[in-house]
Amino acid sequence: ETGVTQSPTHLIKTRGQQVTLRCSSQSGHNTVSWYQQALGQGPQFIFQYYREEENGRGNFPPRFSGLQFPNYSSELNVNALELDDSALYLCASSLGTSPDTQYFGPGTRLTVL
Amino acid sequence: RKEVEQDPGPFNVPEGATVAFNCTYSNSASQSFFWYRQDCRKEPKLLMSVYSSGNEDGRFTAQLNRASQYISLLIRDSKLSDSATYLCVVKAAGNKLTFGGGTRVLVKP
């Protein structure tokens, strides 16, 4: 096990709703990256948080936002949910902002109806 | 064109056989390369890093060809437990890992 935890494990929402996903990083890790993995695709980078600040963002609209807390845990918020937001959301923790190794949590599976 | 491209497979492999597959990347400034393994409905896990000189970890061998911008993974003596999706991952300068779509490998008795 990587020591990275995510909650909830599964979630069902309807279009237009908002969702918050949570991630606790591995002990000692100060960086959390979030990824979206649609069915049959590879994970796509959403953004990274380092010391409570966003530190890099992928090609995702502003309705995807995040937070990092002083204990390095993190939240991913998605507003105005769309059907295409249905995916596995993965967080990965690491030490430092440009590590070669990131440790993934088990993911949250979001279904938007 | 996708930044990292992989043959989605599936590669159907008899147990004990050898299988190899490639991944191509478009960013010539890419600095680090990895293979991750992902089991069905699970998170990706690092299988191995890929070095310029090529590297081996047990039955797994990874190669990097910077001139042609591809990396490869070879699995020898395939086991049933090797059945998984293998994700090619590339990192340029900075913090973003770019994943390919994955190659599915099915090892059959």
pLDDT bucket at B97, cuts 50 / 70 / 90: confident
Calculate the average pLDDT of chain B.
93
Distance (Å, whole) CA B32 – CA B88:
11
Kindly determine whether residue A98 and residue B94, on different chains, have CB atoms separated by under 8 Å: yes
Supply the pLDDT for residue B41: 86
- Using DSSP bridges, classify how beta strands B55-57 and B4-6 pair: parallel, antiparallel or unpaired: unpaired
CA nearest to A32 within chain B:
B95
Cross-chain CB nearest to B44 (options A56, A98, A104): A104
Residue A25 to residue A103: CA distance in whole angstroms: 9
**What was the pLDDT predicted at A101?**
79
**Which pLDDT band holds residue A95 (cuts at 50, 70, 90)?**
confident
Once rounded to an integer, what is the mean pLDDT over residues B57-83? 96
The residues of A whose Cβ lies within 8 A of any Cβ of B are 2, 31, 33, 35, 40-45, 48, 50, 55-56, 58, 90, 92, 97-98, 100-102, 104-107
The nearest CA of chain B is from the CA of A45 a distance in Å of: 7
Given a cut of 90, is residue B75 above it in pLDDT? Answer: yes
Q: What percent of chain A has pLDDT over 70?
A: 96
% of chain B surpassing 70 pLDDT: 99
Q: What is the pLDDT of residue B7?
A: 95
Question: Using an 8 Å Cβ cutoff, are A90 and B87 in contact?
Answer: no
Q: Label the pairing between strands B11-14 and B103-108.
A: parallel
Residue A99 has pLDDT above 80, yes or no: no
- DSSP 3-state helix, strand, coil percentages of chain B (rounded to 5)? 5, 55, 45
Test A42 with B101 for CB contact under 8 angstroms. Answer: yes
- pLDDT score at A102: 86
* Chain B residues whose beta carbon lies within 8 Å of the beta carbon of residue A33: 95-97
pLDDT tens digits, B8-26:
999 999 999 999 999 999 9
* B6, B32, B98 ranked by CB distance to A100: nearest: B32
Residue B3 C-alpha, separation from nearest chain A C-alpha, in angstroms: 11
Residues A5-25 pLDDT 10s: 999 999 999 999 999 999 999
Given a cut of 90, is residue A80 above it in pLDDT? Answer: yes
C-alpha dihedral over B65, B67, B68, B70, to 10 degrees? 30
Q: What is the mean pLDDT of residues B52-64?
A: 93
For residue A101, give how far its alpha carbon lies from the nearest alpha carbon of chain B (Å): 8
The separation between the first and the last C-alpha atoms of chain A, rounded to the nearest angstrom, is 32
Fill in the DSSP letter of residue A41: S
